Amino acid sequence: MTAGIKDKVVILGMGCSRFGERWDCGTEDLIAEAFQEALVDSGIQKDQIDAAWLGSALDDINVGKSALPLALGLRLPGIAVTRVENMCATGTESLRAATYAVASGAADIALAFGVEKLKDTGYGGLPLRTKGLDNDLWMPYGSAPGNFSQLASAYGAKHGISMENLKRAMAHVSWKSHLNGAKNAKAHLRKVVDIDTILNAPMIADPLGLFDCCGVSDGAACAIVTTPDIARSTGRQDLVAVKSIQLSASNGWESGSTGWDGSYVPTTREAARRAYLEAGIGDPATDISLAEVHDCFSVTELVIMEDLGFSPAGKAPRDILDGRFDADGPLPVQIDGGLKCFGHPVGASGLRMAYEIYTQLLGRAEDRQLANVHTGLTHNLGGSPSNSVAAVSILGLLE
C-alpha cells in the first residue's frame, strides 16, 4: 500500500443544485447553479482553478461527449478539462481525479464536477443503452432494478432469511430515506411514506417494489479542492480533508466463474478495505460518524451495510429494523435522503454524497444536522452487482 492521499487535499468549496425533475433547466443551467454555490463557498475566483474534471455518465441524452460542456458552460479560461465516466460511480471518479491532481502537485486548485440531465428521456428509469456491440449479442437487456433485485433472493438464501422478513427490512430502508429526504430542501422526493405503502407498492423487479427503487433525477454537484496550505492561506478555519478515495472494478469473476454466491458486492468490499487502510479506519462501525451510500435500491443499501463492515454478516436486516442507521441511530445512513429521495442524477451522485458529508462536517445541515460528526463515508456503485465499479471515499475534519 502506498502512503496514499490522506490529508493531502482539502475541500475548499462545494455546490449542489436542487435535484429533481428540472424541466426548467438544461444541463448548463444545472452546472451554473452548482458552480455558483461552490465558488462563493470557496472564496476563490474562477480563474484560480488550474484543472477541471467533468463527470457525466449518459452522454447520449445528456450533454454529449467530451469535457467541452463544462468548459463552455463555465467559460473556463482555457484550462485542462477532462470528461470522466464510470457508470453510477462517475461522480466519485471525478472527485478522485481532481483530488489526485492536487495531491500530486500537478494542480493547486482543481474542480470536480458531476452533472446529469436524465429527465429529457421522456420516461422513468435509466435510459436505454448498449452494453457494447459484442456484449449485446448475448447479454440480457435487464434493467437496473432487475439486476439488483437478484441480490435479495441470494442474500435471503445465504443467511436463511425469509423474503417476508427481508422485505420488511428493505421497506425500513426506504421509509428512512423518505423521512430524511423530507427535511432536505434540495431533495427530489420530499414526501414521507409509511411502511405499508412501501410494502404494497407495484412490483418493478421482483422483489423490488416501486418504493424500493430510487428514481432518476436532473442535477449537478461539484467540489473545489486544494492543498491544506492554500486553504489555510484563504483564512479558512475548519477544513474538510480527503482521508481516502478508493475504487474497485470487477474483472469478470463474479459473473464468469463459480466463486460468487450473488449475496454481496465484492467490489464494495475491496474498495472499502483499501479506503479503511488509507484513512486509518480500524472499526468502520464505530469510527465512521455517518455514511452516504449507493442506495439505488433498498436491498442494495441493506447489503452495503455488511459490505462496508457496518453490520456483521447476516445481521443487516436486524440492525436496520433496530434503527441503527436511522437519523437518531448511532450510524446515520442517507441523512440527506440518499439516491432514493435526494435523487440520482447519475454523474452527480458521488459528488452529492460528498456534499452532504462536507455539509455535516461543517455543521451546516440545518434541520438534519447530526451531532458529533467527525468522519463521513461515501459509497458510490456503478453497474450491477455482478459487474460493478465501487468507489469509497472518506472525508473528515483536518486535524
Partner 1 sequence: MHARGISAIGSYFPSIRVEKAEIYRAHAWALPGLKSKSRGWRSAARWDEDVVTMAVEAARNATLTMGRERINGLSLASTSHPFKDRSSATIASAALNLPATVFTTDQGASRRAGTSALLKSLLENSSRQHLVIAAEKRIAQAGSWAEISWGDGAAALVTDDENQIAQLTGWHSHHEDCVDFYWADGFKPYQGEERLIKETMLQSQVVPTVQAALEKANASPADVDWAILCDPVPGCEKQLLRSLKLENATPITQQLLSEVGDLGAALPLAGLCMAIEKAEVGDTILVTGFGNGCDALVFKMLQAVDNGGNAIESQVTNKRSIGYTAFATSRNIIDLDYGPRAERIDKTALSVHERLRKDITAFIGGKTTAEGAVQFPKTAIAANGSFSTETGYIDVCLADLEATVVSITTDHLSYCPDPPFYFGLVEFENGARLPMEFADLPTQALAAGDTVRMAFRIKSIDKALGYRHYFWKATAVNAGGTA
Site residues for partner 1 per CB under 8 A: 121-123, 125, 128, 133-134, 136-143, 145-147, 149-150, 153-154, 157, 202-206, 252-253, 255-258, 262, 386
Angle between helices 346-361 and 90-104 (to 10 degrees): 60
User: Residue by residue, what is the 3-state secondary structure of 310-351?
Assistant: CCCCCCHHHHHHCCCCCCCCCCCECCCCHHHHCCCCHHHHHH
Q: In the complex, what is the shortest distance from the CB of residue 252 to partner 1, in angstroms, rounded to a whole number?
A: 6
4 vs 209 by CB, closer to partner 1: 209
- The identity of residue 294, as a single letter, is H
25, 88, 214, 296: the active-site residue? 88
205 vs 271 by CB, closer to partner 1: 205
Say how far apart CA 231 and CA 290 lie, in whole Å. Answer: 24
66 vs 153 by CB, closer to partner 1: 153
Catalytic annotation present for 344: yes
Say how far apart CA 66 and CA 146 lie, in whole Å. Answer: 30
Got the DSSP string for 175-210? Answer: HHHHHHHTT-TT-S------HHHHHTSPEEETTEEG
CA dihedral 30, 35, 38, 43 (to 10 degrees): -150
> In the structure grid, which three cell numbers stand for residue 308, read together?
462496508
Question: What is the distance, to the nearest Å, from the Cα of residue 73 to the centroid of all Cα atoms in its chain?
Answer: 24
Q: In the complex, what is the shortest distance from the CB of residue 120 to partner 1, in angstroms, rounded to a whole number?
A: 12
Q: In the complex, what is the shortest distance from the CB of residue 299 to partner 1, in angstroms, rounded to a whole number?
A: 11
Angle between helices 163-181 and 144-159 (to 10 degrees): 130
151 vs 290 by CB, closer to partner 1: 151
200 vs 234 by CB, closer to partner 1: 200
Say how far apart CA 398 and CA 242 lie, in whole Å. Answer: 9
178, 188, 344, 379: the active-site residue? 344
User: Could you tell me if 14 and 352 are in contact, meaning their C-beta atoms sit under 8 angstroms apart?
Assistant: no
Say how far apart CA 90 and CA 275 lie, in whole Å. Answer: 17
Catalytic annotation present for 213: no
Q: In the complex, what is the shortest distance from the CB of residue 132 to partner 1, in angstroms, rounded to a whole number?
A: 9
203 vs 277 by CB, closer to partner 1: 203
Q: Which residues are identified as catalytic?
A: 88, 344
